[in-house]
């Protein structure tokens, strides 16, 4: 499973989770005055048992095949997120830019957002592939 969230000019990040004790992050954009992590860098975090249990709880509650691929309303900005799921039977991207998405997708997205704000990240030297990443333009750094 991977996931990307873009919230206009506040944050744009991606994660990748493979059911283990490690989650991978790419910080595409985030206000560095409030966050020490660098743009366009890869990181990892080690999950504790509760975080791993929470990830698996949300994943087990999703019925990937029943969701549409796109939930979109005519918004100019706001929050957009996209999940990428791959199982033995299915491979699916689900894009959400709407207030009318399934409750369980919104709940998982909110949990991931709060989780990402409170976890210690370690710099990763290798690249990670994130299939959900191409959802919006990333702001250009002026540094």
**What phi and psi values does residue 55 have, to the nearest 5 degrees?**
-55, -50
Tell me how far apart the alpha carbons of residues 55 and 111 are, in angstroms, rounded to a whole number: 9
Alpha helices in 1-143 (DSSP H): 49-61, 103-117
Tell me how far apart the alpha carbons of residues 40 and 75 are, in angstroms, rounded to a whole number: 26
Question: What is the pLDDT at residue 117?
Answer: 85
Tell me how far apart the alpha carbons of residues 114 and 126 are, in angstroms, rounded to a whole number: 25
Tell me how far apart the alpha carbons of residues 134 and 122 are, in angstroms, rounded to a whole number: 24
Instruction: Using 50 as the pLDDT threshold, list the residues of the chain that sit under it.
Output: 137-143
Indicate the class that CATH gives domain 2-123. alpha beta
Tell me how far apart the alpha carbons of residues 30 and 8 are, in angstroms, rounded to a whole number: 10
């Amino acid at each position: 499973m991977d996931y990307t969230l873009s919230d206009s000019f506040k944050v744009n990040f991606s994660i990748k989770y493979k059911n283990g004790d490690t989650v991978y992050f790419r910080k595409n954009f985030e206000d560095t005055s409030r966050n020490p992590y660098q743009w366009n860098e890869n990181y990892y975090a080690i999950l504790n048992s509760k975080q791993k249990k929470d990830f698996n709880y949300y994943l087990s509650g999703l019925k990937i095949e029943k969701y549409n691929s796109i939930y979109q309303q005519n918004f100019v900005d706001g929050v957009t997120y996209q999940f990428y799921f791959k199982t033995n039977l299915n491979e699916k991207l689900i894009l959400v830019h709407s207030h009318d998405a399934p409750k369980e997708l919104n709940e998982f997205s909110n949990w991931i957002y709060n989780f990402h704000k409170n976890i210690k990240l370690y710099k990763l030297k290798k690249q990670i592939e994130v299939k959900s990443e191409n959802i919006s333009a990333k702001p250009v750094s002026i540094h």
